[in-house]
Amino acid sequence: MAIHPIDFRYGTLEMKRVWEEETKLQKMLEVEAALAMAEAELEMIPMEAAVEINKKKSTEFVKLERVKEIESVTKHDVVSVVKAFAEQCEGNAGEYIHFGSTSNDIIDTAQSLQFKDACDIILEKLKTLRSELLKKAEGHKNTVCIGRTHGQHAVPTTYGMKFALWATEIQRHVERLETCKKRLCVSMITGAVGTMAAIGENGILVHNRVGEILELTPVLISNQVVQRDRHGEFMSILALIAQTLNKIGITVRSMQRSEIKELEEEFDASKQTGSSTMPHKRNPITFEQICGLSRIVKANALAEFDNIPLWEERDLTNSSSERCLFPESCVIIDHILNLSIKGMRKLTVNIENVNKNLELTKGLIMAERVMMFLANSGMGRQTGHETVRRCAMKAHDEGRHLKEVLLEEPEIMKYVSVAEIEKMFDYTTYIGLAPEIVENVIIESKNWK
C-alpha cells in the first residue's frame, strides 16, 4: 500500500528508478564485485573467485526478496547482501566477497553511483529549463512592463529582463551542481575507522583501483564514512534550485492574480476544472505545486546538516534519515523541474494587461525620469527630487495624471517644455539598456555547457 505521495503522485519513473531498492542493491553488488577484482589483480584473492563474483553481480542472480529474508534474521543490511551474493557464487568464490572492507565502504560507494545518475538527470532538466527561459527572454526582449519593488509600481522594465535573470540563475545552479558532483561522487574502501588495517599493505592500491573500476574519485581520507559535508553541499544545492523555482513560481502566481493578470499558466478550458464549487476558477496549480514542494527540499537540506557531526569515527544516525532525505529530495526536485519546464513552455504573457498596468498609476512611474531630466537641465538633483516628489504626492492624492500636475508647477516649467514633458511619458522609451542587457545574456549563453 502506497503511503508517500512520491509513490503515486509526484516524480518521474526515471528518477525513481535511481533510488528504488533494486537499484540500490545492484549498485552494492557492483561495488563488491569491483572490490573483488581489485584484490584479485593484486593477488590478494584468487582471480577465478573475482571472475565468478563479477559474473553474478546482478539482481538477476541476487534477488531483493532473498536479501530481505536474510536481513529479517541478521538485522544487518550489508551482511544480508553479502550472504545472498555468496549463495549465488559457485565453489568457494563467495568466501571472498567483502574481503577486508566494512559496511559503509559498500553503502557510501554504491550511493555515489546513485548520486552520479541523479545528478545527470537533474543537470539535464536544469539545462532544458534554462533553454526555455532563454527562449522567453528573446521573445520578450522588448515587451515593456512595469517593474515592482516592495510590491509597488517602480519604473518600467521588460519581461525579457525577468526571464533572462532567471536563466542566469539556473545557469549558476548548473555550474554549482557540476562542481559538487566531483566532490559528491566518490569511492571509499578504507575499512573500519578508515585505517585499511584489514586490507593490509595493499590498502591504498585496492582503494584507488576500486575507484578506477567504478569511475569514481577515491577519497583521500575517511574515518569509516564518506564525510557528510559533501552530502550537505549537494542537498544545499538542491535547496537553492528549489528556491529559485519557488521564486519563479511566486512571480508567475502573483502576476496571474485576477486584478493583474499579466501572466497565465496553461489552462485547458475545454475540460480542466479550477474549483469544486466555483466553476469560473483558473487557478495557478502548476506553480503553486512548485512553490509548495520546494519547501520540503529546503527543509531536507537542514536535516542533512545534522548528519555532518557524527560521533567520533562514525555512528548510525545519518543512515536512517538519509534513506528518506536523498530519494525524497531528488525525486521532488526532478518533479518540480519538470513542472517548471512545462509551465514555462505554456506560459502566456497577456500584452493587453501588461500595457493596462503600465498606465495604472497615471504616469507616476515616470517620476524618476522627470527628476533626472531636471537635474541634468540645471535644477540640481536634490531640488529636482523634492520638487517632483511633491508633485507625485499631489497627483496621487488627487487622482490626477502626474503630467497634468507637472505642467502646473512653475519651478519645473522653467527647465522643461510642454513637448519635452509629453515625450517623457512614453514608457517604451524609458527601459534603459534592458534589451541590450538581455541580448548580452543570450550571447553569453552560447558559451554555457
Q: For 342-353, what is each residue's pLDDT tens digit?
A: 999 999 999 999
Compute the average pLDDT of residues 429-444.
97
Q: How far apart are CA 307 and CA 229, in angstroms?
A: 9
Q: What is the pLDDT of residue 1?
A: 81
Catalytic, 275? Answer yes
Tens-place pLDDT, residues 67-100: 999 999 999 999 999 999 999 999 999 999 999 9
Q: Would you kindly state where each structural domain of the chain is located, as residue ranges? A: 103-137+164-355, 360-436
Mean of per-residue pLDDT scores for the chain: 96
**The three three-digit cell numbers of residue 435, written as one number:** 534589451
In this prediction the pTM is: 0.94
Of 198, 195, 196, 219, the closest CA to residue 111 belongs to: 219
Between 26 and 7, where is the model more confident?
26
What are the tens digits of pLDDT across the range 110-135? Answer: 999 999 999 999 999 999 999 999 99
Residue 300: count other Cβ atoms within 10 Å of its Cβ. Answer: 23
Q: What is the pLDDT of residue 272?
A: 87
Please tell me the predicted confidence (pLDDT) of residue 283: 87
Mean pLDDT of 103-109: 97
Which of the residue ranges 5-9, 54-58, 196-200, 348-352 would you say has the lowest mean pLDDT? 5-9
In a 13 Å sphere around the CA of 171, the CA atoms on its Cβ side amount to: 18
Q: CATH 1.20.200.10: does it fit domain 103-137+164-355?
A: yes
Answer whether residue 64 shows pLDDT above 90: yes
Active-site residue (options: 58, 76, 140, 150): 150
Phi/psi for 152 (5° steps) reads -110, 155
* CA distance linking residue 182 with residue 173, whole number of Å: 15
Report DSSP state, residue 58.
S
Kindly name the residue from 58, 80, 275, 385 that is annotated as catalytic. Answer: 275
State residue 161's pLDDT score: 98
pLDDT of residue 271: 86
CATH topology for the 360-436 domain = Ribonucleotide Reductase Protein R1; domain 1 (1.10.40)
Q: What was the pLDDT predicted at 314?
A: 86
Pairwise CA distance, residues 372 & 448, whole Å: 38
Q: Is pLDDT of 360 > 90?
A: yes
**Whose CA is closest to 75, among 37, 116, 103?**
103
Give the model's confidence band at 269: pLDDT under 50 very low, under 70 low, under 90 confident, else very high: confident
- 152, with CB counted inside 10 A (0-12, 13-18, 19+), is exposed
State the pLDDT confidence band at 20, using cuts at 50, 70 and 90. Answer: very high
Q: What is the pLDDT of residue 449?
A: 87
Q: Region 246-256: what's the mean pLDDT? A: 97
Percent of the chain with pLDDT over 90: 92
Rounded CA-CA distance 240/228 in Å is 18
Q: What is the pLDDT of residue 350?
A: 97
Residue 218, SS3? Answer: strand
